[in-house]
Structure 1
Amino acid sequence: MMIAAVSAALLGSQLLVVPVSDRVPELKVEAMCKATTADDKANGIALPQSFADCMRDETTAQQQLNTVWGAAPSSLRNSCEVEATSGGSQSYVDLLTCIQMAEWVKSPSTATRLRGAGKDRNSK
């Protein structure tokens, strides 16, 4: 009888659990930013990204994700989360980019036009 009560309590508590994909996942981006900064310096990059700049980019991406996450299909959120956390690296920038790219592919006419650094880029 005790086992049945515990099982019922566990079953009931599972109904209150919010799936991870319903909210922006909590990523540990500090390690990735430290590794990126170290790699840039080790490879002699002329303008290496600082840890502070990396963290700022990740925080900005996380804030942007808070506005688009709920509108993205759960299958897309799940696949992008896997991509953004694979290989032991975790990045909100990667997660946001994945979702944005999928949206652009789905409806390119409504996507923001990206313009390169051509000499006539501001004339259109």
Structure 2
Amino acid sequence: MKAALLSLALLGSNSSIPVADRMPELKVEALCQATTAIDKAMGLSEAQSLADCMRDETTAQQQLQAIWQGTAPSLRDRCEGEATSAGAQSYVDLLTCIQMEEIANSLPNPSGLRGASKSRSRK
């Protein structure tokens, strides 16, 4: 009974960060375990260890926390979808997606380039 009341109280309380603005909580352990197993099965001479994979994911998660609120919600949603597709969940993939989009958006738009056109070649 007390647990149910506590749950209701928590649901009704105001949080400082709206749910939509919270960074996703990804389950990266399964990805790291699978990656390590695949690397070993392939006989890679420098297979990534579970500890190294988890360290990379934790570092990416920390970097994401610093930029998450400043990232457009549509970009966050799209990149989260990519980072969690096919059952794998990765903060590294999520961070990379956001960074690549930001780099692409910062490049100058090449004006004057129109691509191929059948009507232009018939002059």
Same fold, TM-score > 0.5, yes or no: yes
Larger Cα-atom Rg: 2
Measure the CA separation in 2 of the matches of 1:93 and 1:104.
16
Q: Tell me the equivalent position of 2:92.
A: 93
Superposition pairs for residues 39-50 of structure 1, below 5 Å? 39-50=38-49
Residue ranges of structure 1 left out of the alignment (5+ in a row): 1-8, 110-124
How big is the shift at 1:44? 1.1
Q: Tell me the equivalent position of 2:78.
A: 79
Measure the CA separation in 1 of the matches of 2:107 and 2:33.
35
The percentage of aligned residue pairs carrying the same residue is 61
Which amino acid in the other structure matches residue 19 of structure 1? V
Residue ranges of structure 2 left out of the alignment (5+ in a row): 1-7, 109-123
How big is the shift at 1:19? 2.9
Q: Show structure 1 runs of 4+ deviating over 4 A.
A: none
Superposition pairs for residues 1-124 of structure 1, below 5 Å? 13=12, 18-20=18-20, 22-108=21-107
Which amino acid in the other structure matches residue 72 of structure 2? P
Measure the CA separation in 2 of the matches of 1:53 and 1:107.
31
Measure the CA separation in 2 of the matches of 1:66 and 1:54.
19
State the TM-score, normalizing by the size of structure 2.
0.73
Which amino acid in the other structure matches residue 18 of structure 1? P
Aligned-residue Cα RMSD (Å) equals 2.2
Secondary structure of 2:84's match? helix
Which amino acid in the other structure matches residue 46 of structure 1? S
How many residues align structurally?
Answer: 98
